[in-house]
Structure 1
Amino acid sequence: MPKLQGKVALVTGGSSGIGLATAKRFVEEGAFVYITGRRQTELDKAVSLIGRSVATVRGDVSNLADLDRLYARIASEKGKIDVLFAGAGIVDPQPLAEMTEERFDKLFAINTRALAFTVKKALPLLNDGGAIIVITSIAENKGIPGFTAYSATKAAVRSFVRSWTAELKDRRIRVNAISPGPIDTPIFEQQAPTKEGADQARAQFAAAVPFGRLGRPEEIASTALFLASDEASFIAGVDLPVDGGLTAV
């Protein structure tokens, strides 16, 4: 039997990369999935790729009115959420000496504040016994030059997982994090001004991984499926590295 048969899932940041791979895998395992993102064109592409049991809601998770509109639609159409995969986030490397207030605040607004309110506003719809999965990063544990603010946002998210596990225990809601290593997604293009620069960054990160390669979005999606399913029924409060051994050796 499919592992998420009859479940309703929400995937934020679901129009590309890890979020898209996760939404696709959830549908393949029997879930009806809502995905949200800022770009309608990318959302339309995601629907074409997934093909069934999927709906999109365009919005910005850092805008609380957009979150309210998202949850109002889910409430009217399905009336529940069984799995929340909060994957929306940005990477914006900033050396400390070049850090600006605007870029610092934007990272925390999207990666930390928006995630907190995404989860808070989901609670009335989230079924007791449901699953919340968030994305942290190996940057929370490793000192990576230029990642001062980004690393701090992800360390805060790790702290959320501990607090929410304690707060939601009476509802048996399992809160867990996935801590990806370098994953081959369009984020590399977003950080580099040229294709050559993106390829160089990919090569540098791959060389640091004991497996000698980047991870694939589908590998994160498989981990998310496990944490969302009943197979992880006694797992809560963890931050699971999926990094090819990068933080272990």
Structure 2
Amino acid sequence: MEKFSNKVAIVTGGNSGIGYATAKELVAQGATVIITGRRKEAIEKAAKELGAIPFVADQASLTDTDNLVKGVQQKFGKVDILFINAGIVGSMGPIESQEEENFDNVMDINFKGAYFTLSKFIPLLAEGASVVILSSIVASTYKPNSSIYQASKAALNSIAKTAAAELAPRKIRVNIVSPGPTRTEVMTKSGMDETTVNNIMHHLTNTIPLKKIGTAEDVAKLVTYLSDESASFITGSEFVIDGGLTL
């Protein structure tokens, strides 16, 4: 049974990783899915594979977000599922060595971009719509050398809970999904080589109580559940999906 028939879903950063896996799951359940990304070739390739609709947009650009909202409004008139997923890690290092450019890059996508994606889509959200914001367990773990990324996710968690309170009268639910170590391209994109990434993943596997690394599909299934009517009494909640790492 396609439980998302006649539902319109937006997935930001949908051409790879968790965004791609979630778009795939939503399409499989019958939703009309619009995926966004910064690179035209990558987003069009992913959309073709998924059976989704591509839209070239950089979450850090409010102009791009305005254009996305206008395009969706003209074609569909409403949004039932909004998955704010796009994000970057940025350059790692101690607070004393961080540059303004890295701070701005991370915050513009992860916090400011996500905030205004939510803000600008609120008028289009149907009554009973679901908003899911991708955060991370780092929002509350405070590890060295990750101050900017951690702060961007902590800010997102705060905004999500405020939005849940504001939008509850319209039966719109806003929830947070916070993965732990998940095998996606995000570490490679941050500049780490494959050997380094594999070493980190091997170390983490031994640290995680369930003795495995999460997959994008694991997270996608949780996002999909939260987007369904089965989760109609859940809002303002954070769901940690980390194999027990933060126990």
| Aligned counterpart, 2:27 | 27
Distance 1:21 1:98 in 2: 35
Distance 1:39 1:206 in 2: 32
Distance 1:182 1:87 in 2: 16
Q: 2:78 aligns with which of 77, 80, 94?
A: 80
Distance 1:107 1:43 in 2: 21
* In the alignment, structure 1 residue 66 sits paired with structure 2 residue 64: yes
Distance 1:147 1:192 in 2: 14
Distance 2:209 2:215 in 1: 15
Distance 1:44 1:200 in 2: 33
Instruction: Supply the AA of the counterpart residue of 1:33.
Output: V
Unaligned runs of 5+ in 1: none
Distance 2:228 2:47 in 1: 23
Among the aligned pairs, what percent are the same residue? 38
Distance 2:43 2:205 in 1: 29
Unaligned runs of 5+ in 2: none
Alpha-carbon distance, 1:69 to partner: 0.9
Alpha-carbon distance, 1:201 to partner: 2.2
* In the alignment, structure 1 residue 224 sits paired with structure 2 residue 223: yes
TM-score (structure 1 length as normaliser): 0.95
| Aligned counterpart, 2:116 | 117
Alpha-carbon distance, 1:191 to partner: 2.6
Pairs within 5 Å for 1:41-190: 41-50=41-50, 52=51, 54-92=52-90, 93-190=92-189
* In the alignment, structure 1 residue 16 sits paired with structure 2 residue 16: yes
Instruction: Supply the AA of the counterpart residue of 1:17.
Output: G
Deviations 1:188-207 (A, max 9, x none): 21234422122122223323
| Aligned counterpart, 2:36 | 36
Distance 1:162 1:42 in 2: 32
Q: How many residues align?
A: 246
- The SS at the match of 1:201 is helix
Deviations 1:220-246 (A, max 9, x none): 000000000001000000010011111
Alpha-carbon distance, 1:208 to partner: 2.4
Deviations 1:79-118 (A, max 9, x none): 1100000001001223223211111122111110100100
Query: Which shifted more, 192-201 or 8-17?
Result: 192-201
Distance 1:206 1:42 in 2: 30
CA contact (8 A) 1:94 1:149 kept: no
Instruction: Supply the AA of the counterpart residue of 1:231.
Output: S
Q: RMSD of the TM alignment (CA)? A: 1.2
CA contact (8 A) 2:35 2:47 kept: no
Distance 1:225 1:193 in 2: 30
Alpha-carbon distance, 1:62 to partner: 1.2
- The SS at the match of 1:247 is coil
CA contact (8 A) 1:191 1:198 kept: no
Alpha-carbon distance, 1:2 to partner: 1.9
Distance 1:203 1:49 in 2: 31
